[in-house]
Amino acid sequence: MSAISLDENLVLLNLEGKDKFDVIAKMAGNMQKLDYVKESYKAAVVAREKIFATGLPTSSYGVAIPHTDIEHVNAPAICVASLAKPVDFVIMGEECETVPVKIVFMLAMKEQHAQLEILQKLMKILQEDGALEEIAKAQKPVDIKEFVCKKLGL
């Protein structure tokens, strides 16, 4: 698996978004500005989210893990956002039931197997007591970056 980037520029604290598509657009725009993804990435993530929802209810905070196909990616990266106010995402595997999401992990992977590997590692974070609390309450991007990198083994 290629090295996956997650630096302070990929961590967005108190991100404001009027809905899930606004959040996705802002996160994708940040990744494009940093040249991790192609111009097509944002539209591809939005299109995929409409078909395959990524909202996950957890015991502490709702989480979403939007992503798309590898051809829209320049270099592998993860963008993490803690939202100023929760935004509704449709729950994974559901058609219209939603979960208020506070934390978003947006994936941009260059290899198909890498995406599955990262999703599996993220699931462990989601199930760990206090992990999402630590991300949601972080005051500095570097704190989230270090915490997530350690948990994902990046």
Q: In this structure, is residue 35 part of a structural domain? A: yes
Q: Average pLDDT, stretch 136-146?
A: 94
Task: Identify the CATH number of the domain in which residue 16 sits.
Answer: 3.40.930.10
Please tell me the predicted confidence (pLDDT) of residue 2. 56
Q: Could you tell me the pLDDT band of residue 140, with boundaries at 50, 70 and 90?
A: very high
Radius of gyration, CA atoms only, the chain: 14
Report yes or no on 25 lying in a domain.
yes
**What is the rounded CA–CA span in Å between residue 125 and residue 147?**
10
**Under a CB-based contact definition with an 8 Å cutoff, are residues 90 and 96 in contact?**
yes
With respect to residue 2, please indicate whether it lies within any of the assigned structural domains: no
pLDDT in the model for residue 1: 45
Residue 68 lies in a domain: yes
Average pLDDT for 45-71:
93
User: Residue 61 is part of which domain span?
Assistant: 8-152
Tally of domains in the chain: 1
pLDDT in tens, 3-24: 888 999 999 999 999 999 999 9
Residue that the structure tokens 């991100």 belong to? 15
- Domain membership flag for residue 98: yes
**Is the residue at 1 inside a domain?**
no
User: Which residues have CB under 8 Å from 62's CB, separation 6+?
Assistant: 55, 56, 86, 89, 99, 100, 101, 102, 103
